[in-house]
Structure 1
């Protein structure tokens, strides 16, 4: 995989907010800016690793890290959490968008998701 432009928190925040999904808010968690969806942590940046952190199931995380260790990783701090870090110069924005949409849908209340899918 070729190197890409180094992605910053503001780039991913702009992508996430451009999706115009209901229930998304800017917030602060552990002193760091983040985005929440439906009151739950949705996307954030690890200041210690200087990398974006995405929610993924453990099985997906293990597969991503094994298949592309130069792109995806986790540290001991994240090993017991369904999270994966992505090297900012290797992040595929299409993957990020798909992940954000999937996690937003997983966290959405059923009534909101039903209304959203119905176009209202």
Structure 2
């Protein structure tokens, strides 16, 4: 299980996806993919933040409320918060790969997929 920002950062970078960079937004470290925020750790609650949808977040929270958590700051977004120490690497990898693809320009993905 992934427990901290340092572990999540190292894990995400180990996927060796291109166009991923370290960044700081609103005073907090994060990783960006293709210039867009990709994953980060919440400054409000001990949880990683992944991109998703509200419907998916609600489903995940209903299925496992100890793992998938919420803070009022994120209530109006589709972001998915996963409690530190409960982040499954397999789930995180699939989520990161999908959000990396979602952030990529279409022309880049066409070339990437052709390889």
Q: TM-score range by the shorter chain?
A: over 0.9
User: What SS class does the counterpart of residue 15 from structure 1 fall into?
Assistant: helix
Partner in structure 2 of residue 40 of structure 1: 36
Name which of 71, 84, 90 aligns with 1:88. Answer: 84
Runs (4+) off by over 6 Å: none
Unaligned runs of 5+ in 2: none
The 2-side partners of 1:54 and 1:74 are apart by: 12
1:1-120 paired onto structure 2 within 5 Å: 4=1, 7-119=3-115
Q: Deviations over 1:71-112 (max 9, x none)?
A: 001111101111111111211111011000000011110111
Aligned residues: 115
User: What SS class does the counterpart of residue 49 from structure 2 fall into?
Assistant: strand
The 1-side partners of 2:109 and 2:70 are apart by: 31
Give the RMSD, CA atoms, in angstroms.
Answer: 1.1
User: What SS class does the counterpart of residue 96 from structure 1 fall into?
Assistant: helix
User: What SS class does the counterpart of residue 28 from structure 1 fall into?
Assistant: strand
Cα offset, 1:57, TM superposition:
1.0
Cα offset, 1:47, TM superposition:
2.0
Unaligned runs of 5+ in 1: none
